Structures are given as C-alpha cells and as structure tokens.
Structure 1
Amino acid sequence: MKSKFIVIEGLEGAGKTTVRDKVVSELHAQGITDIVFTREPGGTPLAEALRQIVKEGIEGESITANAELLLLYAARVQLVETVIKPALARGAWVVGDRHDLSSQAYQGGGRGLDTAMMKTIKQSVLGDFAPDMTLYLDVTPEIGLSRARARGQLDRIEQESLAFFHRAHQRYKALAANDASILTIDATQPQQQVQQAVQTTVRRWLEEQQ
C-alpha cells in the first residue's frame, strides 16, 4: 500500500497514546514497519519551542486567541514540510497525535475564532494537505478532564473552563459528522472495548486501501 498519514484526535483524556499503540499493532500486522510518529504542536526543534509557549504561556503576558492560533499553525507547517511530507515521500507511514482538526475544534470551537479566517490561514499554509484517515476519540469533557487531572498537573490549555471544552467537543462532533475521512470511536467505553473498536475500525480501513 502507498504510504498514508493517520491522525488520532480527541479532547484531553481521550486516550490517544493508548490508541496509537493499537493502531501501530494493526499496521505491523499488515507488514507496515516503517512508521514515523508525530505530535502537535511539536515534532521539530522549532515546533517544540512553540509547543512550550502554547502549553505553558509566557510569564507576565497573556497570549491572545489569534496569537495562539498563529503559533499553532507555525508549528504545524514546520512539522508538515520538514517531517511529514518527506516521510510520506520516501514511503513511510506517519501516525500523528493531533493535526489541523485540533485547531478547528479548540481554537474554532473553544475560542470561537472566525471560521472564514481559520479557513484562509489553513489554505495558505497547508493547501490541500490533509490526513488520509483520522481516528476521532469521542469523550465527554467531564470524563476526559477527570482522566487528565488524574495524570497530574494541568497545562495552560487543560486549565480552560468546562464551557470551553464543551464548545470544542461540539465542534469536533460536527466536523466528524461531515467528513468521511474522520472515523469516530466511542472513547467513554472501558479501555478493552475502545481497543477492540479501534482494531476493527483500522483493520477495515486498511482492507479498503488495498
């Protein structure tokens, strides 16, 4: 099969890391072993520096919503152009922890930024580049945030209000409902059931690619 870009998406506490391991096991079962892992924001020295700013903020200065969005797109385009596209070009598969859908949900839904502006920025820096398949792990903000808190100290984004995460959640669901490349997994289920759903979904998708 031609190399593909797979992304795992969802709110905080959705279980993306655990699901990534299951996706990888399914790829290995198909003989796919050349896999590059990415995370957003991050994945290059520049993008990791921008991640630190987005996640932790700058002491004594409030990051505006528009500035946050531009920081995220700067990190994203750097990762796409210097890591993801070259990996796909040489035949590797790429499995990403978050991509553009996160900005559509968090900054578009959560922050309430102008949709037209976001589309313009996306088209300007990414063009038609998009994941071949996105696994959206659907979890309620209440469940997701309780899991995130159990992991330890929350970062700047994780400390946002519950209303922010409800808006992000609704935007995630709306976008997933209108994009056939986004496959939804009920991540409120017990972990074993989530794993089984991921296995079935990814296996079926891989069969369709052959």
Structure 2
Amino acid sequence: MTPETRFWSARARWAVATAFVACWVLGLVVAGPDLGTEASPSGVGQAFSGHHRAVASSVLVHGAAGILLVLLGLALGSGRTRRTTVALASIAAVLSIDQLAGEVGLALDPHRAGGVALWEMLSRVDGAKMLVLAALVASVWWGAVHRGHTLTVVSCLAVVSLVLSGVGCLTLSAGLTAAAAASLPLLLVWSLTATAASTGEQTTDREPLLQADGYARR
C-alpha cells in the first residue's frame, strides 16, 4: 500500500464499490432504453419516449456510477500504476458524463432529427469507455501487491469481455456487442473482487505496524 492510499479505510473502499454496483443494479431495474447498435428513427423515438425512466436510468448508470468510477480508481490504485489507474478512471467518468448528456438530450426530444446519428455516437462513446475500463482493470491488477488467483481470473475475463464489447460498439457490430451482456456483470464482480484484494493488502500492511507498536509498549 502506498502513502497516497493509506487513508482509504476498508470501510470506505467497500462503500465505494458497493455504491458503484448498486447504481448499476438500480439503473437496470429502472430499465433504460434497450437499443442495439443498428437502431431506426422509430426505434430510437420509442425507446426514449418514456423519458422519466430513461433519464433516471441514465443518471444512475452514467452519472452516479461515472462519478463513483473516479472514487473507485482512487481507492484501488496502488503502487507504480496508481496514477495510471486514477487517470483511466477519470477518463471513463468523463465518457460516462458524455453518455448522460446525450441520453438526456434524446429523452427530452426522442423524435428529434438526427436521433439515430446521436445514438450511434453514444454507442461509440460507450465502446471507447469499455476499452478504457479494460485498461483500468489491467492497471489495478498490475499494481496490486497481492493479486491472488481469483483477482487474476476475474480481471482477465473482464478485460477480454470489455475489449470485445468495446470494439463491437466502436464498429457498431451487433455480433461483438453481444459480449456486453457478459462484460457488465464481470465488471461489477471485478469491482468487488478488487476491493476485497485491496482491503487484504491493507490488513497485511498494518500487521507489522501493530507488532512494532506492541514491542514499543513492552
């Protein structure tokens, strides 16, 4: 653990990770627009016609979860990759806010001219964000002191699925974007797994300090 991350208690780390997962779960429950990469004007209009649900879902999965990504990067970043991790988390957050702005715009005017073009642009932004998230997952794994088998496996699966779905969204390929169905659950599982690993590192780092303090009191 580095001095920069020492102030992040285990409780704070778990609070951030749990809030991140909760925002996504609630956003899916609210059920935002369900559109593929190949959308028609009528499809875009119909998907965003219930603008209250669309806005609520977007605020949760792009707004709140996007901000929490920065906190997640700060909480999980460690070692030589800390700055890279925080930078990647910040980039992903900016892309999330872009998605929020675009989807709110579509929700306010679902039948606007150029709605399909805007949706395709948002899909590509989502693809770019997935690639950034894949790099974020790899950065956290590389900087972890105690990687462990579970963190390694979950990180590898998350990176592969995020890259596939990211490329699919960037190229508007319906086949590759099917990987997004697996990338989101894997990303959420990864956030909890990485948090567990980071709190384990914190406990390990504290043991020598506690022992030294005990000897000093004798």
TM-score of the two chains, using structure 2 as the length reference: 0.30
By relative contact order (CA 8 Å, sep 6+), the higher-ranking structure is 1
TM-score of the two chains, using structure 1 as the length reference: 0.30
- The answer to which structure has the higher helix fraction is 2
Return the index of the structure with the highest Cα Rg.
2
